[in-house]
Amino acid sequence: MRTIYPKARQISIGYDQVEDRMVFTSRFKDGRVRRALITRRLLSRLLIRMSGELYTTHPVAGRSPDPDEVLQMEHIAAVAHGLPEAQALPEKPGAQVTISQTGLVVDVQIETQNEYLVLGLISYPAEPVAGIKLTREKAHQLIRTFMEKAVAAEWDLENKTAWLEPLFCEYASGKMV
């Protein structure tokens, strides 16, 4: 059975010090805003799964003598463009923005659809939070954002993917790639 996710038009990532959780905020076309919390453990699994999906779908990595280096280079090129500034979606005059807290994210589904990486978040109890379609470049930028937030939160994530390992060290030392 396939899960149907509400399609997010815009996302942002924050950190809640009281909860010690990442805050994944999704904004939808109709103006609704949903917030969901991501644990350290789930973020670690999410990064590994996103990295794995990028790795297995890269057109050259499988044929390269050093596939980790190929993905590192793709990552560096993707984040070099920088993260685009969040743009406010046009709102209808007089429209009320409803922000709902959907709870704790308990699962993430990731799949490739053509040239896109599709990310779907599920909160407890099995409620789809949001789905977002990312280009490879945007997926790398999202990984970078998650890594930066994790370093700022002093999460010291384990089980890093080999091609991200040197990048984590550089983020931790304050240097930006």
pLDDT of residue 163 exceeding 50, the answer is yes
Amino acid 177: pLDDT? 43
Residue 2 lies in a domain: no
Residue 88 lies in a domain: yes
- The domain containing residue 87 runs over which residues? 8-167
Lowest mean pLDDT among 65-69, 78-82, 86-90: 86-90
DSSP assignment, residue 7? B
Q: Tell me the pTM.
A: 0.78
Residue 74 lies in a domain: yes
pLDDT of residue 1 exceeding 80, the answer is no
Measure the CA–CA gap between 133 and 114, rounded to whole angstroms.
11
Lowest mean pLDDT among 4-8, 35-39, 124-128, 131-135: 124-128
Residue 60 lies in a domain: yes
Lateral strand order in the sheet of 116-123: 8-16, 21-28, 33-38, 99-113, 116-123, 127-134
Residue 13 lies in a domain: yes
| Angle made by CA atoms 143, 147, 150, in degrees to the nearest 5 | 140
> How many folded domains does the chain comprise?
1
Residue 49 lies in a domain: yes
Residue 102 lies in a domain: yes
Convert the pLDDT of each residue in 111-136 to its tens digit: 999 889 999 999 988 889 999 999 98
Parallel, antiparallel or unpaired: strands 127-134 and 116-123: antiparallel
Amino acid 156: pLDDT? 84
pLDDT of residue 19 exceeding 70, the answer is yes
Residue 22 lies in a domain: yes
